[in-house]
């Protein structure tokens, strides 16, 4: 029980950083492309409490897979609605990738230059917290690229696929969302996105470790 609580507390900063960066990326891209809707709704911020979705947050905290409250946009404000919607959809995952890379660099500097402190109890907790910032950001990046509603991958595929894809999602979206929630609750989503998450994580650590 205590171990579970400690694990949640250690991963909490990573979750708050990951969802804040992800949703801020969407909001920033939308505003830059001409849609001020996120600004008016208070989403152009790194404040995590503006982005929390209760169920998604609980899933992230317990099974390390989840989501934040989607940033609402109005594609009619874009000069090129389909292209710009794809850019906005990708902005969140790109921000997660950049954040993962930055924290791998911080992790590398920490373990190579603070060896005395590293092997203290607090030092080990800090090391794990830094690692989880990397892990959670990669999880959010991969998870959000799944082409299922309400995830970013669904918006991207819908913009590329046109009316036929839109009609399919519109007809079956409730069933797809229910299936996605069941995968999250049962933890089976890890079997789907685990391999790419660990693969990307290993690749980034390997590349940055050579610097």
The count of other CB atoms within 10 Å of the CB of residue 92 is 28
* pLDDT band for position 130 (cuts 50, 70, 90): very high
pTM over 0.95: no
Q: What is the pLDDT of residue 1?
A: 58
The count of other CB atoms within 10 Å of the CB of residue 156 is 20
pLDDT in tens, 145-166: 998 888 899 889 989 988 787 7
* pLDDT band for position 50 (cuts 50, 70, 90): very high
The count of other CB atoms within 10 Å of the CB of residue 166 is 13
Average pLDDT over residues 47-73: 83
Between 179 and 74, whose confidence is greater?
A: 74
Q: Is the pLDDT of residue 57 over 90?
A: no
Long-range contacts of 199-202 (CB under 8 A, 24+ apart): 200/138, 200/141, 200/142, 201/100, 201/134, 201/135, 201/138
Q: What is the pLDDT of residue 2?
A: 56
d(CA 42, CA 40): 6
Mean pLDDT value across the chain: 90
Q: Is the pLDDT of residue 68 over 90?
A: no
pLDDT in tens, 183-193: 877 778 888 89
Nearest in space to 204 (alpha carbons), one of 144, 131, 146, 151:
131
Q: Is the pLDDT of residue 64 over 80?
A: no
Q: What is the pLDDT of residue 170?
A: 77
Q: Is the pLDDT of residue 175 over 90?
A: no
Average pLDDT over residues 77-99: 97
Nearest in space to 169 (alpha carbons), one of 154, 156, 181, 183:
154
Q: What is the pLDDT of residue 96?
A: 98
Q: What is the pLDDT of residue 171?
A: 81
DSSP state of 160: H
Q: Among this protein's residues, is 23 annotated catalytic?
A: yes
pLDDT in tens, 1-30: 556 777 788 889 999 999 999 999 999 999
**Which residue of the set 23, 112, 121, 201 is catalytic?**
23
């Amino acid at each position: 029980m205590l171990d579970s609580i400690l694990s949640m507390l250690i991963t909490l900063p990573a979750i708050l950083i990951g969802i804040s960066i992800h949703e801020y990326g969407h909001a920033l891209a939308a505003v830059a492309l001409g849609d001020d809707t996120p600004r008016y709704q208070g989403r152009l911020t790194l404040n995590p409490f503006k982005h929390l979705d209760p169920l998604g947050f609980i899933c992230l905290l317990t099974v390390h897979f989840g989501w934040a409250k989607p940033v609402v946009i109005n594609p009619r404000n874009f000069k090129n609605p389909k292209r710009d919607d794809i850019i906005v959809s990708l902005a969140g995952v790109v921000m997660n990738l950049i954040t993962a890379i930055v924290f791998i660099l911080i992790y590398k500097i920490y373990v190579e230059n603070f060896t005395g402190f590293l092997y203290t109890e607090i030092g080990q907790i800090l090391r794990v917290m830094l690692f989880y910032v990397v892990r959670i950001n990669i999880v959010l990046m991969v998870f959000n690229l799944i082409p299922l509603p309400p995830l970013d991958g669904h918006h991207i595929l819908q913009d590329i696929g046109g009316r036929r894809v839109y009609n399919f999602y519109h007809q079956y979206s409730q069933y797809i969302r229910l299936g996605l929630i069941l995968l999250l609750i049962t933890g089976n989503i890890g079997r789907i996105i685990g391999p790419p998450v660990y693969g990307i994580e290993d690749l980034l650590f390997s590349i940055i470790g050579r610097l």
